Amino acid sequence: MSDQRPTPDVSPIEKYKAILLAVIENRPSGTRQRLAEALGKNRSFISQIINASYPTPVPSQHIETIFSICHFAPQEREAFLEAYRAAHPGKLESIRAPRQTRRIVVELPDFGQPAMNRKVDEIIQALARNLSNLTADVLEAEADGRESEG
């Protein structure tokens, strides 16, 4: 007699979240924090997008950043994308290609209070993200205008 138990049906969302969770758990400590910072989110958001019991989906615009920060292996990446496409048909095709980025260093005074330093850092990071999004939108609008002229 075989001891095979029926496996519960796993939704595509649960499948890609399980892949993401496994990848993150096999990375060095601090990966969740680095990911939260790169996405401009709190660590609680990271917990929600990797935990299958939360309905929060992984936003498609963050996938390339997640792949980069978490160093997905090619097989992990393909398995994740396959499950993501099954869970959210057409969503990946609607996002724009990732832009080239550059890093600058800004020197600020130490305010002598960790909470104040952290808040100033968050403000600077938010400003950089907003500028990046604004310029991307302007460049995309200009490109769309040129295409419609031709």
| Predicted local distance difference test score (pLDDT) of residue 2 | 46
| Predicted local distance difference test score (pLDDT) of residue 144 | 64
* pLDDT tens profile 22-42: 999 999 998 999 899 888 889
Which CATH number does 10-97 carry?
1.10.260
Assess whether pLDDT exceeds 80 at residue 136: no
The Cα–Cα gap between 104 and 102 comes to 7
* pLDDT tens profile 99-120: 677 778 889 999 999 999 988 9
Residue 63 identity (one-letter amino acid): I
- The answer to whether 91 and 58 have CB atoms below 8 angstroms apart is no
Question: Which residue ranges does the chain devote to CATH 1.10.260?
Answer: 10-97
Task: Provide mean pLDDT across the span 9-16.
Answer: 88
* pLDDT tens profile 68-78: 889 999 999 99
Three-class HEC string of the chain: CCCCCCCCCCCHHHHHHHHHHHHHHCCCCCHHHHHHHHHCCCHHHHHHHHCCCCCCCCCHHHHHHHHHHHCCCHHHHHHHHHHHHHHCCCCHHHCCCCCCCCCCCCCCCCCCCHHHHHHHHHHHHHHHHHHHHHHHHHHHHHHHHHHHHC
pLDDT band for 10, please (50, 70, 90 cuts).
confident
| Predicted local distance difference test score (pLDDT) of residue 51 | 93
